Chains A and B, each alone.
Chain A
């Protein structure tokens, strides 16, 4: 073969490749919604193999007795109604009639009891067993089933927050059919009551959910994780796309319908795509600056206060989120009904005061390391901006960008001075406080130890009237401001983007995508 004929062959091959590519359909099938997730699910065992993404996917497969609605009020789910005894130790749930597990079996109190007893069994290794074993106040002592549709939970001590805890989407208290495990108790797959069931899980690539046709939606309108959960699309495929830019690219090219957890910095790019709809909502996730109170420099409260006054919170929130978020000095999200004017109280931006405090503290320019990571852009952005602001008042802050795993390990080890950090959303104010407030030597994750605040927290869970708890939370907020163990910066923004092929999708403050009530429009003139 001479060179000319070789070149001809190459040309033909190239043409063939170009031709083929035209024929390849890159869009999902007409009855399938594709949504990007940044990492694979950890497993299918709710509450045991879990992280935020696993929770979100499995929330389509399993359900609990109660659930949070759009505004973080507890609403019934599998339970039709429920009562709390006046002493706060007995919770009675009346199950909905005529609902079925995905294997066709009816849901009765027996399965509820089985599910919960399984979760409470240490052998199950339910990650949030400490929520119910007395560690944080609630201790379930017994579960009764007076009849096939009634379940009674008995608590060892009075507590009025069991429902808030049970509805928590962080560790789903899922009701499962016992066939989800084999005879020896080993996990097989979830047989739940949700609107979708798992059809296929190709690890590292995607999880395919298929509509459960026997699902009966609740009569109330869709709201948060509560209300009607109508499965409209036949399939939902959760595609694992670790890289955010790749996920967006896939959205623009029509390979993906929904991308969640976008950054404010992406908005400009998203806006330039006419076929993309952007949905936003303030998130209950929040960003904070951790100050290590054990550190030789930072244990001086004056230095911590100086730091607090050196940050221009409004500019920070605006700059880091391109104007999408407002500063929030409280752990309680603006999306929460408990957020009130007290929560708006925070540190004032006062560089002069800051400099004065530093002089008083006799700070002489000792270097302070600010840890951050690039895995979570918001934490990184905050660190860059905070560093720039702190340097302006004379704090010798250096940035230490770590790999996420390293930074995370530094938190319980308290191997840091300043750290730019983020907290995943807690649907109830007390839980948010409890994610930082505690006794440090018992739980190294705790960033704030204050006897008075701990007492307030304890009182909050035994106070029957929800309205009265709000005042306690305000007091806790003030105590936190005074101690400066951490500085809350702002609440994140949930930004989801949806292709115009999809209708009915909405973003939610809980930063959980919900694919029920979401439909696929008839194909438009898009290139296939």
Chain B
């Protein structure tokens, strides 16, 4: 079952990639055409046009790389910040662990949205800002996961064995601990990537997404709200694209989980 899901995931993602790679003919996603506002889907405009007469298909395509960039960068930020905090806390233990755990706890006590809002507001509107905000807001959960998995690997006997050869702690971490934490990281990364797309869309909805005119899928979806009754296609296509991608990433994540540790599936 999970393998089928994973297959669906890859297929959906592949379909999305094909769509992204194919350039829509002749439309600049930013080109305003005031003679073609709010046109429903047609042969010229596959997904219709928005209130400025921009071709929605081109915009959805153009939004893909940015959406993925934001989501990818956010994931990287979360993995880097949360990962290094978690790894240090889990591997060193002791007071360092206590300190880092306290900081991570404080950060969690600050709701992710508030943190993202504040970071976004401070960094100013940019796709990078969104990514950093989303990444930092998700960092505590990565820190937790990594801390516990590093902790469990650290207690493994092959680590003791390496220590008996006089191997340095850094080498032990790099040679033995880190490679064995790749799986939980991969699973967390998939979850995070899916979450990042959704959080970005929520931030867009609250007016704090990646700034126009370039748009992410979340941004397109959030903007479509104004026309939900007269031009439902404006929300439908970005919404379906976004959800399909999140779905795909979630399936991949689930597949990874089932594949690597059938015991722990949360």
Which A residues are within 8 Å of any B CB, using their own CB?
244-245, 263, 265-266, 268-269, 272, 315-316, 318-319, 322, 374-375, 377, 380-381, 384-385, 387-389, 399-403, 406
Q: Given A244-B226, A381-B52, are A399 and B34 neighbors across the interface (CB < 8 Å)?
A: no
- Of B76-84, B88-96, B206-214, B242-250, the segment with at least 4 beta carbons within 8 Å of chain A is B206-214
How many Å lie between the Cα of A316 and that of B52 in the bound state?
A: 10
Inter-subunit contact A266/B226 (CB<8 Å): yes
Expressed in whole angstroms, the minimum distance between the Cβ of A310 and any Cβ of chain B is: 14
How many Å lie between the Cα of A315 and that of B211 in the bound state?
A: 25
Q: Given A375-B207, A385-B32, are A245 and B228 neighbors across the interface (CB < 8 Å)?
A: yes
Partner of B229, one of A269, A381, A385, A387: A269
Inter-subunit contact B230/A381 (CB<8 Å): no
Partner of B125, one of A245, A315, A402: A402
Inter-subunit contact B125/A265 (CB<8 Å): no
Partner of A318, one of B32, B34, B38, B207: B34
Inter-subunit contact B34/A315 (CB<8 Å): yes
Q: Given A245-B228, A399-B211, A399-B213, are A265 and B51 neighbors across the interface (CB < 8 Å)?
A: yes
Task: Check if B225 is an interface residue, CB within 8 A of chain A.
Answer: yes
Which B residues are within 8 Å of any A CB, using their own CB?
30-32, 34, 37-38, 51-53, 121, 124-125, 207-208, 211-213, 225-231
Q: Which of B32, B37, B226, B230 has the most CB of A within 10 A?
A: B32
Inter-subunit contact A245/B230 (CB<8 Å): no
Inter-subunit contact A319/B125 (CB<8 Å): no
> Which chain B residue has the least Cβ–Cβ distance from A268?
B230
Expressed in whole angstroms, the minimum distance between the Cβ of B183 and any Cβ of chain A is: 35
Inter-subunit contact A403/B30 (CB<8 Å): no
Q: Given A245-B226, A263-B226, are A387 and B207 neighbors across the interface (CB < 8 Å)?
A: no
Partner of B52, one of A263, A384, A399, A402: A384
Partner of B212, one of A269, A316, A384: A384
Partner of B51, one of A315, A381, A387, A402: A381
> Which chain B residue has the least Cβ–Cβ distance from A265?
B51
Inter-subunit contact B226/A319 (CB<8 Å): no
Expressed in whole angstroms, the minimum distance between the Cβ of B265 and any Cβ of chain A is: 23
Expressed in whole angstroms, the minimum distance between the Cβ of B205 and any Cβ of chain A is: 10
In the assembled complex, which residues on chain B have CB atoms less than 8 Å from the CB atom of A377? 226
How many Å lie between the Cα of A317 and that of B52 in the bound state?
A: 12
Inter-subunit contact B226/A322 (CB<8 Å): no
In the assembled complex, which residues on chain A have CB atoms less than 8 Å from the CB atom of B229? 269, 272
16 A-B pairs besides A381-B51, A388-B30, A403-B208 with CB distance below 8 A are: A263-B226, A265-B51, A265-B226, A268-B38, A268-B230, A268-B231, A269-B227, A316-B34, A318-B34, A374-B207, A384-B212, A399-B213, A400-B211, A401-B212, A402-B125, A406-B121
Expressed in whole angstroms, the minimum distance between the Cβ of A398 and any Cβ of chain B is: 9
How many Å lie between the Cα of A385 and that of B31 in the bound state?
A: 9
In the assembled complex, which residues on chain A have CB atoms less than 8 Å from the CB atom of B30? 388
In the assembled complex, which residues on chain A have CB atoms less than 8 Å from the CB atom of B225? 245
Inter-subunit contact A319/B213 (CB<8 Å): no
How many Å lie between the Cα of A219 and that of B121 in the bound state?
A: 53
In the assembled complex, which residues on chain A have CB atoms less than 8 Å from the CB atom of B52? 319, 381, 384-385, 388
How many Å lie between the Cα of A378 and that of B119 in the bound state?
A: 27
In the assembled complex, which residues on chain B have CB atoms less than 8 Å from the CB atom of A319? 32, 34, 37, 52-53
> Which chain A residue has the least Cβ–Cβ distance from B208?
A403
> Which chain A residue has the least Cβ–Cβ distance from B223?
A374
In the assembled complex, which residues on chain B have CB atoms less than 8 Å from the CB atom of A389? 32
Expressed in whole angstroms, the minimum distance between the Cβ of B244 and any Cβ of chain A is: 24
Sampled A-B contacts (28; CB under 8 Å): A244-B226, A245-B225, A245-B226, A265-B51, A269-B227, A269-B229, A269-B230, A272-B229, A272-B230, A318-B34, A319-B52, A322-B37, A374-B207, A375-B207, A377-B226, A381-B51, A381-B52, A385-B32, A388-B30, A388-B52, A399-B211, A399-B213, A400-B125, A401-B212, A402-B124, A402-B125, A403-B121, A406-B121
How many Å lie between the Cα of A384 and that of B34 in the bound state?
A: 11
Partner of A388, one of B31, B121, B125: B31
Top 5 A-B pairs, shortest CB-CB distance: A319-B34, A388-B32, A401-B211, A268-B230, A269-B230
How many Å lie between the Cα of A374 and that of B125 in the bound state?
A: 12
In the assembled complex, which residues on chain B have CB atoms less than 8 Å from the CB atom of A380? 212
Expressed in whole angstroms, the minimum distance between the Cβ of A242 and any Cβ of chain B is: 11
Expressed in whole angstroms, the minimum distance between the Cβ of B120 and any Cβ of chain A is: 9
How many Å lie between the Cα of A389 and that of B52 in the bound state?
A: 12
Expressed in whole angstroms, the minimum distance between the Cβ of B45 and any Cβ of chain A is: 17
In the assembled complex, which residues on chain A have CB atoms less than 8 Å from the CB atom of B37? 319, 322
In the assembled complex, which residues on chain B have CB atoms less than 8 Å from the CB atom of A381? 51-52
Inter-subunit contact B212/A399 (CB<8 Å): yes
> Which chain B residue has the least Cβ–Cβ distance from A385?
B32
How many Å lie between the Cα of A478 and that of B37 in the bound state?
A: 34
Expressed in whole angstroms, the minimum distance between the Cβ of A83 and any Cβ of chain B is: 51
In the assembled complex, which residues on chain A have CB atoms less than 8 Å from the CB atom of B230? 268-269, 272
Q: Which of B34, B121, B228 has the most CB of A within 10 A?
A: B34
Q: Which of B37, B51, B207 has the most CB of A within 10 A?
A: B51
In the assembled complex, which residues on chain B have CB atoms less than 8 Å from the CB atom of A318? 34
How many Å lie between the Cα of A263 and that of B226 in the bound state?
A: 10
How many Å lie between the Cα of A401 and that of B231 in the bound state?
A: 24
Expressed in whole angstroms, the minimum distance between the Cβ of A320 and any Cβ of chain B is: 8
In the assembled complex, which residues on chain B have CB atoms less than 8 Å from the CB atom of A374? 207, 212
